[in-house]
Structure formats: C-alpha cells, structure tokens
Amino acid sequence: MPEKIIDVAVGVLLRPDGTVLLGNRPADKPWPGWWELPGGKLEPGESVMQALARELLEELGIQIHTATPWVTYVHAYPTTTVRLAFCRVTGWDGEPQGLEGQLLRWVPLTQALDVPKLLPATYPPLRWMNLPEVYAISSAGSPQGLAAFQQRLAQGLKEGVKLLQWREPGWPDGPASTSLKTAFDAVLAQCHAAGARVVVNSVHPSAWCAQGDGMHLRAADAKGFSVRPELPAGHLVGVSTHDLSELQHARKLEADFAVLGPVLPTASHPDHPGIGWEEFARLNQQAGLPVYALGGQSAETLAQAKSVGGHGFAGLRRWIT
C-alpha cells in the first residue's frame, strides 16, 4: 500500500528588515520545543493558498494579502511523510500572535540556520531564502567586451545584484583566449568587493569553481554526476534544466537551485516560443528546490515569475530596472 503523504501549507513570513518568523512548538504537539515555520494541513477541498490563509489566521491572528507559492518539498519524518508547500508571505494585516500557546520569534535570515532545535524540514527553506531573486549571467563575450561588461556589472552590483554565473563559452581561441582566466579573476574580485557571489559554469575548468563560490552545471554535464559535486563547504551548485527529468536529477544531486527555460522567446532564439508560464508553474511545483525562470526574463518579469512559484529570474542582460 502506498505511503500516505500529508499535504501542508507553510508560510515563510518575511519583514522588510530581512527577518523571518519562527514559532516554537507547544508542549501538547509532536516535537515540543522545536522551532518551525507557521502553517498546517490542508483540509479536504482546500487549495494551498486557502489553507495558508486559514492556518495563519487561526495560528497567528493575521490576514494575509500578499503571498506567492514557492517550493513544494517532500520530507520524511520517522512516523510520517509530509508534502510541504512553502509560500512566501510579505504582506498581512495585524501583528502575529501565538494564539495556540506557541512562542514567536523574528530572526534575521542570515542567522536563522543557527537557531538551536530547528525542525528538520525547516532547514531547506531557510537556506534557500538566502538565495537572491536575481541570478545574473555574464556576457562579456571577448577581451574587447570585458570593460563594457564590467561597467554594466558595476551598476548591477550597486543596485543589488548578489549572484553571478560566469559563463563565457564563446571566448575566442588563440592568443586572446589566454586572458579568459584574467578576466574571470577580475570579475570575481569585483563581485566579492561588493559582497556578491560568483558561480562558474561547467564549460570552464572545475578549479575555477572552488576559487569562486560554486558550480553551475549545464544540463548535459549534470547527467555525468550521480551525486553532488565535491566543492568547499558553503559553495553553491546550480543546474540548468529544460524538463521534469532534468529537474528531478538536479534534486538528486542536492543542487541548491535550478534554472528552467526558456520560458519566453529570446533575442537569440526568437522563433522558439518557450514553455510558457503555465508549464513553468507545473514543472516548478514538482521540482523540490528553488527554480529561476530563464528566457525572455528581466526585472519587469520578476513579479510574474514569483507569482507562479519561481524563486526569481536568471538573465544575461536586463538584471535591473
């Protein structure tokens, strides 16, 4: 007989100051004294958003008005398996109160993973929330284009870009190609000086990934791995995906995030219609990890990407408004 999975709606309540709300489970519930994100089981016929609104009203006394779906994640506890539909909640009426006798605590996202006695299923979303919503991709193209790219990057960093993928597959061969590593070193230093991280596309030497802040696997390269690539602690692993099987493989590799697309037509592939937002939403719901929308994306599409469950968007050029 198949194992029963309990569906749960979970709210990640975020304040503008970068803090997230945690609740301490009361003594009359399983795992008493452990800290968790607020939420509860779906009732028959309820959607995730309906259950979330009901649970946060009953549990915290607030009425949510700004919330989006995010990651749906299956977690197996010793006695039960839960399918957790995490939702980002950024607007509500009222001040959260522990109406079920639970203690509440606002914790900076950057410190949330250090809270003692976090419920096991609470770790992944708190870790994922430290990923920025914009995933920039480099497009210098050549030694001649590097200065202009760094100027645009400087503006992006000034306006909040925090994560860049170094991806330069078209860098010219010949004597000029020897400057590719020099270009990478310069961009890495520029990003680190601004507090941003750089992950390196798998088209480049793996040693650069350790020098930077992680590795981004092309879909074809990801298939060559059966486990997560070995990298220094704290380094990120991202994976490019185009369909459900590739998303499932990214989850198997314990990737920190995936990029899915193309969602919309792009300048480089104007005749390709893209998978569209409906298909993106369907695949994202089954991914089990944060997913960035790729293809025809910009700051103008960020709200759309988030409204259908995307973590944010990835793009080569239009990172900022």
**pLDDT tens readout for residues 266-280:** 876 677 789 999 999
Q: How far apart are CA 38 and CA 52, in angstroms?
A: 9
pLDDT in tens, 180-210: 999 999 999 999 999 999 999 999 999 999 9
- Predicted pLDDT of residue 267: 73
- Specify whether the CB–CB gap between 250 and 241 falls below 8 A: yes
Tokens of 175: 């004597």
Structural domains of the chain ordered from first start:
5-128 (3.90.79.10), 134-315 (3.20.20.70)
- Specify whether the CB–CB gap between 28 and 104 falls below 8 A: no
pLDDT in tens, 64-113: 999 999 999 999 988 889 999 999 999 999 999 999 999 999 999 999 99
- Predicted pLDDT of residue 104: 97
If you compute the radius of gyration of the chain from its CA atoms, what whole number of angstroms results? 21
Q: CA 302 → CA 17, 121, 186, 191, 319, distances in Å?
A: 20, 27, 29, 22, 10
pLDDT in tens, 286-308: 999 999 999 999 999 999 999 99
**Phi, psi angles (nearest 5°) of residue 305:** -60, -45
- Predicted pLDDT of residue 242: 97
- Predicted pLDDT of residue 321: 57
